[in-house]
Structure 1
Amino acid sequence: MPVFVRPSHSWVRLGTLLFVFLLTSVCSWFQAEARPLACESAEACFQRAASFADEQPDQAALLVERFRHVQEVYPGTIWARRAGFRIGWALLEREPGRAIDYLRGARKDFPVLEDYVLLKLGQALGREGSFHKSALAFEAALGSSVPSVLRNETSYEAGFAWFENGHCQPAIAYLKQATSGDPDFPSAPRAWSLLADCAGRLEEVNLARHALGELWRKYPESPEAQVIGRAGQAGQPDARHWEPSLEDYYERGRTWYDSARFEAAIRDLQKFLAGQSHRPNYEQGLFQLGMAHVRLKQYPQASQVFRRLLENPSGYTGKAAVWLAKVYLRRDQGQRLLKFRDSTPPGLSADEQARIQWLSGVWAEGERAIRQAVLAYEEAYRTADLSKIKRDALWRLGWLHYQQGAWEDAVEAFDSLAVTSPGHHWQNRAHYWKARALERMGRVDEAQTVYGQVAAGWPMTYYGQLSESRLRRPRPAGRQSNENRANPAMNGPVSSAFRINTHFQKAMELSKLGLRREALEELLVVKRQYHNQPQTMYALARHMLELGDFEAPIVIAKRYFWEPLERRLISFDSPLWRMAYPTGYMPQIRRYAASHVDPFWVAGIIREESLYNPKALSSVGAMGLMQLMPRTANRIARRLGLAPMDRKDLLQGEVNVRLGVAYVRQLSRDYQGNLIRAIAAYNAGPAAVKRWIAKFGDRDPDEFVELISYRETRRYVKRVLTSYRIYKTLYSTTCSTIPLDRAC
């Protein structure tokens, strides 16, 4: 029998005092969090509140308290009025009635942002159940002649409000306008569903069927579309309104394909192709089916599809022939590839024939059938019309001679490549490998001269960095001055219209309000309007970088200022370098990288994978900042003890960085710190890298990179290595004397 001991009175008193102390401490902490800190100015006080809103977006009550503090301490100021705007914005979800009063005041205070105020006001009225007033607020916004990035969103809201108010005619008008203006808007599936509903009520049968068809074809993953499918299966009323045709399966298959849902694309395309072969889009659907199998690496099935396409001449004959040759190469079916090359179907263009010749040369080279490969590349060069294919053939010839130790022939081929290639990348590549061949021949001084030319001309490129590292004496740094002369676009006058542009003015006010995402949307419109004015683009990129957008400044820098960057014509303290090589998410990168991975290596990966776009989605399904495949991400998540990751999780910046850094760390450990192999595995997978190591593991690092058989991976490795070393040069230390395959 258990014995219970009554606690002494002293222990009870001590426990009570401890509980009171803890309760008081917690209450004091919450009061301190709610109590705004003293501010030295109205602007500083507002910015502190806005920063809190960014850090704690779900703490609506505390957020309102902080903005109200601005109003109390600095009444009558512009910052107090801005605080009122933000209070109305913050109360919208939980207390729409209170939000309405603040938003009505904001409409008077910020006429330049009337479209934003009316949109939020209409949403608040709708949440209060005043759908008629809500619809009128949206209509007032749409009736303005001032350009607005919110026009499509407001049209959706107006349609929804009129639907809730029981007025289908205006609902249909606005929803048709909305879906036409922005079919990718998140509310589009609901809009098509309500369009079908209203059209059914008004007995507009054709419109109802069209709306259901658009919903089923273009938004197959939406709950609204899945309801259609269930209704059809159950024999419910929706099934009598609309049934998918074979053409509908074709369109939905293309939607699945564009969303990188290749298994679903295959199912729908196969249903479409089960009908008669003389229908429109039959050949295109067949080719898309073959490509879906390629994306899934289902090469036997892809091969069958492409052969079917070649049975009857069509506009896809040439594409199918080239892809069938690629599939033979990827399956290592060289004999089939050679037989196909020698009996290609009629109707192929000269470039398609040359590409198949080139692919047969790649296979022969891998089999060490050197003479056969040389003949194939020479034939591809003679046959091709496009300079790109001629260039590829010349490169393979030079590279083949280099690997065989035929140095003179290699130098000759690389010289021809340099002369015939219009782009500096191919010229630098040809010059670098010419210099390497000269070194092999013992003509070291000549090689040093070529290295010096490449390093001096293009120091911030892959081959410029390689050339710099092979110079016996470091090249003096000198081409970083006279920025005004070298880059007038960065310092010239900005269009006066840019400053008074409506979208720019909205962006500036939204920025002051701390609404960074909305400000960036306005600046993206300005970017499209002034895309042919480099001076304006430069000024715009600086604003966007300040607002936390990293993708657009990179794109602007690469498009308009690639030459001064790659040739290092500007000093390293120029803002242009920060635009082109931003350090967004660096705190998160450092947190998860710790001492195990160089954070600038991760930064280079993010820049080349996604341009710092956390919502990036590739054609093969890779997601987020570090372009993680869902299967890889979930494997890493399990290893870290995290819950399974879905699409929404992987599109969150910090989550993606955490998993991506863990994967980079694993690869670095797997390859004993070999940078090249780890980067290649990140892109192509460990299985491919294992094959390349088995074949070329004893080659010099720069040769190993060129021997990577996947063109995409080869280019990717070069880009990441280049970005990594530029990041180190800008923010840490230079990498010029570090081996190519090692971190700095």
Structure 2
Amino acid sequence: MRCLTYALALIFLIATSAYAQNAEAAIDAIERREYAAAIDALRQFENADRPNFLKGNYDYLLARLYEFAGDTAAALPLYQAASARTGPTRPYALTHLARIMHDSGNLFLERVYLDQLLSAGDAAFRASARLHLARNAERSGNARRAVQVAAAAGKGKISEFLRNDTALLAQWYLHAGDAARGHAILVRLIDETPNPDAPDDATLSAIQTLDAIETGTDLGEEEHLKRAKIYQFNREFAAARLHLEAVVSRYADSANAPNAILDIARGFSQLSEYVEALKWFERVQERYPESTAAKDALLLGSAAYGRVGKYREAITRYQRFIEKFPADERLDRAYLNAVDLLRDQGDDSEAQKWALKTRERFAGKLPETLALFSEARIFLSRGEWRSALDKLDSLESRHELGGAQAPGGTTRGEIQFLRAFVLEQLARYGEAIDQYLAIPDGRAEYYGGRSTDRLKGVQKIDAAQAAILARLASASEMLKSRSAPDRRRGALNVIRLTDSSDIRSLAIGVLRQAIPASSLPAEVDWKSLIDALRLDDRGGEEVEQATVAAESAWRNIPIDVPTSIVTSSSMRELYSAPFAASIVKYAQRNGVDPRLMLAIMRQESRFAVDAKSASAARGLMQFISSAATRTGTNLGIENLDQRELYSPSMSIFLGARYLADLGMQFPQQAEAVVASYNGGPDNVKRWVARSRSGNADRFVPEIQFGQTKDYVQKVMAGYRVYRELYDEKLRPRVTNAS
């Protein structure tokens, strides 16, 4: 709905003074998500000055408001009026009219509006119109007409347009009785996959159709492997398994057979079906003991034994791997995984012994550092603060900490925060405060934000008052320094050390002098926005581009610039709220904070509705197939077509429910919910158990997957900014800076 604000604001700039006041009232109402008030304001335009109302295309905008409000009947005549005029809103109005007719089942009028769109829009509109005309013909039972329209859209070749929905074209040929041409298109689609290592949805659709029409056909080993690879990447593990089992049973002596068995085991592991996975991990070792796949199966199977609670068997197999493959590049994982398994079992003493063995075996290398961090986390989980501090002090001197690239890795910022946290637990408040202040806070700084929150807590501790006041006095003195860097540092510290509005206002004033407005992103210039109506109707692509552009503008802004001195409109460019109406609707229905959904969506897809990741996650909320299917089933949606995940409303609908389900598993633990969204709830349960605490400051360091830990920190930093900028209904807050 923010897009409507842009559209109204753009028109407001060209409006005459006679109705400028009404335009401003409409803008304000939309900003507050008060759609009824905005509709009233626009109706007043129409009654007071209909010629200018139409000239400014306000009828189209009013139709959009009615549609957002769910009043299609009121929107329909307004769209029809807008579609009858030549102008920028015409193709958008025709698009909405065609969709409304489609949803109501009126295929004839849908065709009428789509035919008009062919001559009213640009190339993108025309391509979309042709595709929907083909689908319309297919739904009407005219398969030959569907083929003609779709083939004309692609000009007889598999263009980018046809790749997006070419399986449908092939099916239409099949339905029309032209099996040879339909089969040929499907084969070409597979052969011409742009990236064979990450096959797209068109390729997936093609092999699904081929499998349906080639049941019982002897495909040959190479074709079985090709199709299994496509299915496996797209997380269609059951379908992949059929082809892999064919290779195992028909080509047992082939060099590909061991890897086929291993891939079956991996598929079961991906589905968390570890009992089944273990059968296949053991099978490859029994049948092909000297193969590379058997070595992989030994290592991966060890982890699977741990997942089913068979810790002794898991440790035994890790030891076997260590003894049998002492030069393997993954040797460190056998050691470090054993440490983690022993912690899962609750045997901290044995885990520490394995950590020590790891440090000795990999002295001077990264695995030694990771083992040292494991020891630090063991002491943190046990509340043995002095021992934890000793390990953290040792880690501070290490150059390589693993970061997001190494499982179980850490970062300099995390170590600094944990040191401050431990010092606070030891009641060494002065040192803790200094350490917290040394960690920069800013728009994208998770541990900087956590440090500021911890400082607020320390301010309430009686025994810490002397230390707080001493540092506040020192920071206040720095505001008078002749050195600009000192004044800046003093102002930042003051803001973090006190809630006193007078002192904070003084510090913010100093900051504004130290950080001139010319160095910050400018206030949004409505005139420079790209076509506002495109933002309104094609939110995904344009909002994605706007977000990328905003991030580029902010790239050279220091990370510790507080949001309190930046205009809220500039911040909202960086942290936009597209699809607000749908997000609020489904989030509130499921008891989820819509701002958390926005933070996840921003990190997952950058608001690109057609996003597909390297792990085959799809759409705004980046659902993988298993989670989407499970959530859809819980909502009464059987046999969910994965392509529906590219629909913003479906993605948001499923995302809200899935987050609600995770929230029930981890109540009042936002970091655990976010970690589960990325790394899976089963993994998070183990990490929470290791921390022996519901405290995020003790849980987050336990996150084993580097990508998931990085994800949690980025999402939670974004969530913090979204809470500052928007209320629970995604209405922009008024800030001092604005």
* TM-score tier (shorter): 0.5 to 0.7
Q: Which of 263, 267, 274 in structure 1 is aligned with 2:242?
A: 267
2 CA distance for matches of 1:560 and 1:304?
53
Question: What does residue 463 of structure 1 align with?
Answer: 447
Question: What does residue 429 of structure 2 align with?
Answer: 444
Matched, 1:637 2:628: no
Q: Which of 321, 325, 328 in structure 1 is aligned with 2:305?
A: 328
Q: Which of 255, 258, 271 in structure 2 is aligned with 1:296?
A: 271
- Which amino acid in structure 1 is aligned with residue 392 of structure 2? V
Question: What does residue 625 of structure 1 align with?
Answer: 621
TM (norm. structure 1) is 0.62
- Which amino acid in structure 1 is aligned with residue 370 of structure 2? D
- Which amino acid in structure 2 is aligned with residue 363 of structure 1? L
Does the 8 Å CA contact 2:417/2:451 hold for their aligned counterparts? yes
- Which amino acid in structure 1 is aligned with residue 722 of structure 2? Y
Q: Which of 155, 164, 174 in structure 2 is aligned with 1:185?
A: 164
Q: Which of 392, 397, 412 in structure 1 is aligned with 2:393?
A: 412
| Change beyond 3 A, Cα 1:333–1:117 | closer
Q: Secondary structure at the match of 1:160?
A: helix
Question: What does residue 46 of structure 1 align with?
Answer: 57
Per-residue deviation at 1:427? Answer: 0.5
Q: Which of 399, 411, 420 in structure 2 is aligned with 1:426?
A: 411
- Which amino acid in structure 2 is aligned with residue 288 of structure 1? D
Cα displacement string for residues 119-175 of structure 1 (whole angstroms, at most 9, x for unaligned residues): 86999899999xxxxxxxxxxxxxxxxxxxxxxx9xx9787249xxxxxxxx9xx54
Question: What does residue 317 of structure 2 align with?
Answer: 340
- Which amino acid in structure 1 is aligned with residue 278 of structure 2? S
Question: What does residue 21 of structure 1 align with?
Answer: none
Question: What does residue 151 of structure 2 align with?
Answer: 160
After TM superposition, the structure 1 = structure 2 runs for residues 589-600 of structure 1, keeping only pairs within 5 Å, are 589-594=583-588, 597-600=592-595
Unaligned regions of 5+ residues in structure 1, if any?
1-31, 72-79, 130-152, 163-170, 234-241, 492-503, 522-543, 734-744
Does the 8 Å CA contact 1:350/1:384 hold for their aligned counterparts? no
After TM superposition, the structure 1 = structure 2 runs for residues 502-513 of structure 1, keeping only pairs within 5 Å, are 511=531
Per-residue deviation at 1:293? Answer: 1.1
1 CA distance for matches of 2:539 and 2:593?
33
Q: Secondary structure at the match of 1:399?
A: helix
Q: Which of 553, 567, 590 in structure 2 is aligned with 1:573?
A: 567
After TM superposition, the structure 1 = structure 2 runs for residues 580-591 of structure 1, keeping only pairs within 5 Å, are 580-591=574-585
Question: What does residue 730 of structure 1 align with?
Answer: 725
Cα displacement string for residues 320-369 of structure 1 (whole angstroms, at most 9, x for unaligned residues): 45423322332333333333333327667554001111111212333454
Does the 8 Å CA contact 1:193/1:224 hold for their aligned counterparts? no
Per-residue deviation at 1:446? Answer: 1.9
1 CA distance for matches of 2:664 and 2:135?
56
2 CA distance for matches of 1:319 and 1:710?
19
| Change beyond 3 A, Cα 1:322–1:51 | farther
Aligned length: 595
Per-residue deviation at 1:627? Answer: 4.1
Question: What does residue 358 of structure 1 align with?
Answer: 336
TM (norm. structure 2) is 0.63
2 CA distance for matches of 1:698 and 1:520?
39
1 CA distance for matches of 2:453 and 2:371?
28
| Change beyond 3 A, Cα 1:309–1:327 | same
* Comparing 564-573 and 443-452, the one that deviates more: 564-573
Does the 8 Å CA contact 1:357/1:380 hold for their aligned counterparts? yes
1 CA distance for matches of 2:655 and 2:132?
38
Cα displacement string for residues 578-622 of structure 1 (whole angstroms, at most 9, x for unaligned residues): 244222233334345559554323433444455445556674878
Per-residue deviation at 1:467? Answer: 1.4
Asked which structure has the greater CA Rg, the reply is 1
Question: What does residue 476 of structure 1 align with?
Answer: 494
* Comparing 431-440 and 273-282, the one that deviates more: 273-282
Does the 8 Å CA contact 2:666/2:673 hold for their aligned counterparts? yes
| Change beyond 3 A, Cα 1:666–1:194 | closer
Per-residue deviation at 1:692? Answer: 6.7
- Which amino acid in structure 2 is aligned with residue 434 of structure 1? R
Cα displacement string for residues 654-699 of structure 1 (whole angstroms, at most 9, x for unaligned residues): 4554554456556657766454565566667777777777775556
Does the 8 Å CA contact 1:354/1:381 hold for their aligned counterparts? no
| Change beyond 3 A, Cα 1:352–1:468 | same
1 CA distance for matches of 2:566 and 2:150?
52
2 CA distance for matches of 1:604 and 1:513?
25
- Which amino acid in structure 2 is aligned with residue 467 of structure 1? S
Unaligned regions of 5+ residues in structure 2, if any?
1-41, 99-106, 139-145, 194-198, 460-467, 473-492, 496-506, 523-527, 729-738
2 CA distance for matches of 1:200 and 1:573?
61
2 CA distance for matches of 1:558 and 1:160?
40
CA RMSD of aligned residues (A): 5.6
2 CA distance for matches of 1:247 and 1:65?
55
Does the 8 Å CA contact 1:680/1:717 hold for their aligned counterparts? yes
| Change beyond 3 A, Cα 1:481–1:222 | same
- Which amino acid in structure 2 is aligned with residue 160 of structure 1? A
Per-residue deviation at 1:466? Answer: 1.8
Question: What does residue 233 of structure 2 align with?
Answer: 258
After TM superposition, the structure 1 = structure 2 runs for residues 130-145 of structure 1, keeping only pairs within 5 Å, are none
2 CA distance for matches of 1:223 and 1:730?
45
1 CA distance for matches of 2:677 and 2:128?
44
Does the 8 Å CA contact 2:445/2:559 hold for their aligned counterparts? yes
Per-residue deviation at 1:463? Answer: 1.4
1 CA distance for matches of 2:682 and 2:136?
54
Does the 8 Å CA contact 2:443/2:718 hold for their aligned counterparts? no
Per-residue deviation at 1:271? Answer: 1.3
| Change beyond 3 A, Cα 1:54–1:277 | farther
- Which amino acid in structure 1 is aligned with residue 344 of structure 2? G
1 CA distance for matches of 2:662 and 2:137?
54
Q: Secondary structure at the match of 2:320?
A: coil
Q: Secondary structure at the match of 1:600?
A: helix
Q: Secondary structure at the match of 1:567?
A: coil
Taking only the aligned residue pairs, the percentage that are identical comes to 17
Does the 8 Å CA contact 1:438/1:444 hold for their aligned counterparts? yes
- Which amino acid in structure 2 is aligned with residue 342 of structure 1? Q
